[in-house]
Amino acid sequence: MRDLLSELPGVRASEPIGDGAVVLRGYASARAGELLRAVDRIREVAPFRHLTTPGGHVMSVAMTNCGSLGWVSDRRGYRYQRTDPLTGESWPSMPAVLRSTATEAAEAAGYAGFVSDACLINHYEPGARLSLHQDRNERDMSAPIVSVSLGLPAVFLFGGLRRNDRPKRIRLDHGDIVVWGGATRLAFHGVEPLDEGDHPLTGRCRINLTFRKAG
């Protein structure tokens, strides 16, 4: 059967990876430059930083946020908050190009009416990784998560509802978007250590934008 999503500009294919979860290949390619310029403006106000986990480990991925809520971690736990702990100021507002990319990708994946109030921005350098975890700090688990990959490729690990379920390994390239929700909303997932590389738009790094409805 012909893939209707592939008829949209920039989108090559949609690839189901679980119940309620899909990879939209190349969906963000056409606006990648615009998304990255927006990230450059955000990081001037709310710089990338390496957060500490409640267990006392410093994360290899550097993070920042935009939108009315931002995800943070420290010795006291994981949570969303309205202000950046580094500056005490509100997080930068979510640029329209980010907001609309998230809403359109969610709709293409079957989740109409997704309005994100929190965008976590992850910065990976070669060697950085994210160990298997669930995203469970959001209030409304009926909303999906939209995850945009930019720059260097990564291997995304997508497991099941139990930590010990063997994860699928999914390569995510520049411009790919993962949308997931429904039955897999609480699936364990992570990112393998990033390989060395040099990307024409980002250099030696991968940027991931993860949109949630947190509040």
- Applying CB under 5 A, the residues found at the interface with Fe ion are 135
Min dist. Cβ of residue 178 to ligand MD6 (A): 5
Which of Fe ion, ligand MD6, none does residue 122 bind (CB under 5 to 8 Å by kind)? ligand MD6
Q: Which does 65 bind (CB under 5 to 8 A by kind): ligand MD6, Fe ion, none?
A: none
Task: Choose from ligand MD6, Fe ion, none: what does 71 bind? Cβ within 5-8 Å by kind.
Answer: none
Which CB, 52 or 73, lies closer to Fe ion? 73
| Cβ distance to ligand MD6 smaller for residue 95 or 181 | 181
Indicate the residue among 72 and 191 with the shorter CB distance to ligand MD6: 191
Residues engaged in binding ligand MD6 (CB under 6 A):
122, 130, 135, 145, 147, 156, 178, 180, 189, 191, 208, 210
In the complex, the smallest distance separating the C-beta of residue 149 from ligand MD6, rounded to whole angstroms, is 6
Q: Report the C-alpha gap between 202 and 196 in whole angstroms.
A: 13
CB 108 to ligand MD6: min, Å: 16
Which residues on neighbouring strands pair with residue 67, listed in sequence order? 118
Residue placing its CB nearer to ligand MD6 in the complex, 116 or 210: 210
